[in-house]
Amino acid sequence: MIIRAKHHWFVHPFFKLYAVYKIRANFSKVVVSGSYQDKNLPVLLISNHFSWWDGFWAMYVNVKILHRKFHFMMLEEQLKRYSFLINTGGYSVKKGSRSVIETLNYTLELLSDNKNMVLLFPQGKITSIYQQSIEFEHGLERILKGIKGKVQIMFLANLVDYYSEEKPTLNIYLQEYIMSDPGTEQLQKDYNTFYSSSVAENILKAD
């Protein structure tokens, strides 16, 4: 049995406020680049994963831009360790177990409701911020091939720079992705193109 997401009447709203507060307190500014047109569809948010902050940043994007019911997949051992995250939309995946199928089906269930968004880190683990090419695991492909209705897929790239400030600047890049092929290989290629262009744009900001 997987651990399913909940949205506690107090914990979830508090965590949304806390995420925004935490970011404002620790970053000199937040710069969002890209556009989002609300199509009244469920949202699948695909993001890079290099830090403890990633979930906070995705929550910030949801509060400020997407306005959906927040869900995110998390390793079962980590979710049990930080069990309060269950009440903010976290649900479990246990790699190498039969319950993975249940997790994937639950993800598809969430993506059938236009009030929901699901955050996925297709790398499956935290990697270095300096890694130039992002490798996707294959679970995402099974989700993409299993989607029955329409889903709005958004690419997210979070990049951090200090420039001349004591606190870093958080640069958030968003782009809608129109899927032509549900395979992981094409999606990974297209995400890496988006990620590379985001990094290039970020470098230009420093000039």
User: Angle at the Cα of 156 (from 133 to 106), degrees rounded to 5?
Assistant: 100
Give the model's pLDDT for residue 207. Answer: 64
Rounded CA gap, 46 and 23, in Å?
Answer: 20
15: domain CATH number? 3.40.1130.10
Phi and psi at 132, nearest 5°, equal -85, -30
2 assigned to some structural domain:
no
Give the model's pLDDT for residue 51. Answer: 93
User: Angle at the Cα of 32 (from 29 to 34), degrees rounded to 5?
Assistant: 165
Q: Which domain holds residue 115?
A: 11-205
Give the length of the chain: 207
Give the model's pLDDT for residue 49. Answer: 93
* Structural domains of the chain, count: 1
21 assigned to some structural domain:
yes
Cβ–Cβ under 8 Å, residues 79 and 3: yes
| pLDDT single digits (tens) 77-114 | 999 999 999 999 999 999 888 899 999 999 999 999 99
187 assigned to some structural domain:
yes
Distance between first and last Cα of the chain: 52
Q: Which residues of the chain register pLDDT less than 70?
A: 207
